[in-house]
Amino acid sequence: MLSRAEREVALMLCKGYIDKEVANRLCRSYHTVRTQKKAIYAKLGVSKDTELLAYMICEKKGIDFSLQELRTKGIEYLTQ
C-alpha cells in the first residue's frame, strides 16, 4: 500500500524522529517528507504519529488495524 519511500518515512517516524530529522537522515527536503507524511496518513486513514505507530505494530504482528478499536480499547488492542 505504501511506496518504498513512504515506508522509509513511516519507519523513521515510528522510531520517534521528527519531520526535520527524517528529512536529514533520508537526505530529502523537509517539504518532501511533509508531503510523504500526508500521503501516508491519507493512505492508512490515520491522523497522528501515535496512530501510525499503532498501525505499523499491527502490521508487524499480523493484526487487522482498526482505528475505531484502537480508540475504544487503547493499548489492550495492541497486546491481544
Residues with Cβ within 8 Å of residue 65, at least 6 apart in sequence: 44, 54, 55, 58, 59
Residue 80 has pLDDT above 80, yes or no: no
As for how many domains the chain has, the answer is 1
Interval 23-78: pLDDT, tens: 999 999 999 999 999 999 999 999 999 999 999 999 999 989 999 999 999 888 88
Rounded to whole angstroms, the Cα distance separating 79 from 27 reads 35
Looking up cell 480499547 gives 73
Q: Is 9 exposed, middle or buried (0-12, 13-18, 19+ CB in 10 A)?
A: buried
Rounded Cα distance, 73 and 25, in Å: 34
| pTM for the full predicted model | 0.89
Its domain, for residue 56, covers: 4-78
The values of phi and psi at residue 4, to 5°, are -60, -45
Q: What is the CATH number of the domain that holds 11?
A: 1.10.10.10
What pLDDT, on a 0 to 100 scale, did the predictor assign at position 15?
Answer: 96
